[in-house]
Amino acid sequence: MLAQFIIAFREGFEASLLVAIVSSYLDRIGRSSMKKPLITSALIGIILSIATGAVAYLTYGFLFDKELMEAAGAFIAVPVLTSVIYWMATKGKNIKDEVEYKTRIALEKGSILPIVILGLIFVFREGLETVVFTLPLIFLSVLDTLLGVTMGAVLSALLSYLIYLGSLKISIKKILRNY
């Protein structure tokens, strides 16, 4: 359960932190009305991630050999994790500026659709990574995986919300510099 918790916490924290950065930026520039579509699309991203995990489990768990699925999950996870590490090493220190820039560009289009897409992509991408990393583990224990993922996701969302509120002052550049 610890591995599932750590995976979900890490991916969930990244997704919720990105949404919190956009939300905070919208507050700063006086566009708080755009937060509702952002949060709604983030929730849709969560639902799509859960549905993707369920479909992956049901499809691969019953159609293919479990050992084959564990191996496939590991082979998929390696390039995904490598690309994440590379991205964090090259772009991580400027993540806040980059997210704010993408938000500004989305707002300049004059429609809520770019903000909705931004929130959906931020959350669904991390949810998909969570599915890829935890899929081999769910075949070992469904209950441990569901509990670990749920606890990790809830804790990461709570921590990001506290950061958004300003209750916790954490230097994101210092955190991301360690990647």
Write the pLDDT tens digit of every residue in 121-141: 999 999 998 998 898 888 788
**Model-level pTM?**
0.77
**What is residue 172's predicted lDDT score, i.e. its pLDDT?**
56
The whole-number average pLDDT for the span 98-122 is 86
- Using pLDDT thresholds of 50, 70 and 90, give the confidence band for residue 179: very low
**What is residue 132's predicted lDDT score, i.e. its pLDDT?**
85
DSSP state letters, 26-86? HHHTT-GGGHHHHHHHHHHHHHHHHHHHHHHHHHHHHHS-HHHHHHHHHHHHHHHHHHHHH
Q: Say which amino acid occupies 157.
A: A
> What tokens were used for 7?
């995976």
Residue whose pair of structure tokens reads 């506290």 in the numeric block: 162
Q: Which residue has the higher pLDDT, 18 or 81?
A: 18
- Using pLDDT thresholds of 50, 70 and 90, give the confidence band for residue 118: confident
The whole-number average pLDDT for the span 152-159 is 92
- Using pLDDT thresholds of 50, 70 and 90, give the confidence band for residue 162: confident
Q: Which residue has the higher pLDDT, 1 or 95?
A: 1
pLDDT digit string, tens, across residues 43-83: 999 999 999 999 988 887 666 666 776 677 667 767 766 77
Position 167 pLDDT exceeds 60: no
